[in-house]
Amino acid sequence: MLDRLIKDEYHETAFKRHSERWGEPDFRFEDAKDYPGMSEALISHPKVNSVKDEETERKEFKFACEKENELRDQDLDLLFKMMRKHIQGWWD
């Protein structure tokens, strides 16, 4: 668990299936139409070929983001649970 926290590969783990299904994301920046002087990030995936694909990809992206946070939180919860259990005995 501590090794996973140090490596911090939660994103790679959570997004592996997403990337396999939709391809690696392509990032580009364009001038924001409604905000002069600002840019907006546009992300596309090579295997998104329709509006329906786009909707599905967005849902799966949101799920992968939630999974990433869940995996990290589980390891952090376990770490602090172990610390709390053993904190008094570590100093003896």
Q: pTM of the prediction?
A: 0.79
Please check the confidence at residue 4 and state whether its pLDDT lies above 70: yes
pLDDT in tens, 16-60: 999 999 999 999 999 999 999 999 999 999 999 999 999 999 999
Q: How far apart are CA 14 and CA 68, in angstroms?
A: 5
Q: What is the pLDDT of residue 88?
A: 86
CA-to-CA separations, 67 to 9, 25, 52, in angstroms, rounded:
12, 18, 23
Q: How far apart are CA 30 and CA 9, in angstroms?
A: 29
Q: pLDDT band for position 14 (50/70/90)?
A: very high
Average pLDDT of the chain?
95
Buried b (16+ CB within 10 A) or exposed e, 28-41: eeeeeeeeeeeeee
The region of weakest confidence among 1-10, 16-25, 35-44, 83-92 is: 83-92
Backbone torsions φ then ψ of 9, nearest 5 degrees: -105, 25
